[in-house]
A and B are shown apart, each in its own frame.
Chain A
Amino acid sequence: MTPPSRKPGKKTGRMVVSGLIGLFILLALVFVGGDARKAFHLSLPGPVIGLVLLAAGFLLAERFHTRSHRQLKLHVAPVSRLLVSQMGLLFVPAGAGIITEGDALRHEWLPIVAAVVGSTLIGLVATGWLMHRFAPKLQLAKI
């Protein structure tokens, strides 16, 4: 994947450093989000506030400050892509906690299956139908 380079070691080193800078920024936003949650008595989880701040910051930088936009794309975007694409690994420990819920699963399998299937289908149809009805039809041919 990496293009041939005379000093591959240097490139990997730069990627690691840039990844660490990106991770540091993401962590800083986690803590800022947590503090904002406490300070303003918000019901949003801290990381979700961090998500909003990052998205807003990215859009504002894109519009008004090309240099910091470039920095965000250079340092934060790659580590974000990695974390998002392998997010499944990160919730394995929490999800394995299902073993402490064995009784609930045995007794309540019917409401679980029915609600997961039913509400997922209802949500899909509601969003899909309204968007299909109200979105501009210009791009239809391309898809």
Chain B
Amino acid sequence: MNFPDILQSFLWTAITVACYLAGLGLRRLARNHVLANPALIAMILVAVLLLATHTAYAVYFRATWVLTFLLAPATVALGIPLAKNFAHVRQSMSGVILGLVAGSLTSIVSGVLLVRWLGGNKELALSMLPKAVTTPIAMSVSGQIGGVPALTAVLAVLGGIIGALTFRTVFGLLRISHGHAIGLAAGTAGSGLAASQAAEMGDGPAAFAAIGIGLNGLLTALVAPLAASIFK
């Protein structure tokens, strides 16, 4: 690596961190509203900066490799909250397994079918397929089955925002009041964003939200290649 490369790496990584910090600040200003998602705000700011400075995306992506590199250990790190809350799974084994499998499969199938019915292409359908899962797992699954990881990242964040915005209303209408069910559903269908909202409801919902994130990540990574080959 020569000097300008190092400088460019440092510069773009620092800019990305600054954009994320701006996102965190905006979220605080918006009193933690789910729409003020720091990652989404940072992505938009970075995109605007890249377009404004006529920087090729490939150059930026190579320069910020450190951040992308850390996604892999961050994914492994999800094992800790899963393990810490795993005792709860044993208490309600049938509910967790049924709920998880049903939620995972319906969201995979409905995502792909809705895209295809409304005229979206195959690449979009495959990028949509793993979007319910926590973003880093969704991205690597997407790349593996022929989707576009960047598109999946945005779809995953959008899905999380939709889940976080709607889950209280949806469960209120359906009279689903069991805190564990709400937590598991938020973690399974809305990944980290909806889960963090559900976690505010108490320890039970928080534990089951962590279980939903971890186990649905695992389940979707297992069934995605099969599902993708069926839809092809």
Q: Are A116 and B159 in contact (CB under 8 A)?
A: yes
Q: A123: which B residues are within 8 A, CB to CB?
A: 103-104, 106-107, 110, 132, 185, 188-189
> C-beta contact mask, A50-65 vs B, less than 8 Å → 1, else 0?
1111111011001000
A82 CB, nearest partner CB in chain B, Å: 8
Interface of chain B, main secondary structure: helix
Interface centre among A79, A80, A93, A135 (most CB of B within 10 A): A93
Which A residues fall within an 8 A CB radius of B? 23, 26-27, 29-30, 33, 43-48, 50-56, 58-59, 62, 76-77, 79-81, 83-84, 87-101, 104, 108, 110-112, 114-137, 139-140, 142-143
Q: A51: which B residues are within 8 A, CB to CB?
A: 75-79, 82, 214, 217-218
Q: Are A124 and B170 in contact (CB under 8 A)?
A: yes
Contact partner, B166, options A29, A47, A55, A121, Cβ 8 Å: A121
A54 CB, nearest partner CB in chain B, Å: 3
Q: Are B170 and A91 in contact (CB under 8 A)?
A: no
A80 to B80, CA, bound (A): 7
Contact partner, A132, options B71, B81, B166, B181, Cβ 8 Å: B181
Q: B221: which A residues are within 8 A, CB to CB?
A: 43-45, 48
| Closest A residue to B74 using CB positions | A83
Report if B204 contacts A (CB, 8 A): yes
For the complex, count residues of B whose C-beta is within 8 A of A.
120
A52 to B181, CA, bound (A): 23
A132 CB, nearest partner CB in chain B, Å: 4
B40 CB, nearest partner CB in chain A, Å: 8
Q: Are A76 and B80 in contact (CB under 8 A)?
A: yes
Q: B170: which A residues are within 8 A, CB to CB?
A: 121, 124-125, 128
Report if B10 contacts A (CB, 8 A): no
A23 to B74, CA, bound (A): 9
Contact partner, B154, options A23, A95, A126, Cβ 8 Å: A95
Q: A88: which B residues are within 8 A, CB to CB?
A: 20, 23, 37-39, 42
A sample of 18 inter-chain contacts (CB < 8 A) reads: A45-B141, A51-B76, A53-B79, A91-B136, A91-B153, A92-B46, A95-B157, A96-B43, A96-B50, A100-B150, A115-B110, A115-B115, A116-B162, A123-B104, A126-B107, A127-B100, A131-B185, A143-B180
Q: How many residue pairs, one in A and one in B, have C-beta atoms under 8 Å apart?
A: 366
Which B residues fall within an 8 A CB radius of A? 16-17, 19-20, 23, 37-40, 42-43, 46-47, 50-51, 57, 60-61, 64, 67-68, 70-84, 86, 91-92, 94-96, 98-100, 102-104, 106-108, 110-112, 114-121, 123-124, 128, 131-132, 134-137, 139-141, 144, 148-151, 153-155, 157-159, 162-163, 166-167, 170-171, 174, 176-182, 184-186, 188-190, 192, 194, 201-202, 204-205, 208, 212, 214, 217-218, 221-222, 224-225
Q: Are B144 and A127 in contact (CB under 8 A)?
A: no
Q: Are B201 and A50 in contact (CB under 8 A)?
A: no
Contact partner, A43, options B43, B83, B166, B222, Cβ 8 Å: B222
Q: Are A90 and B95 in contact (CB under 8 A)?
A: no
Interface centre among A44, A48, A104 (most CB of B within 10 A): A48
A136 to B90, CA, bound (A): 11
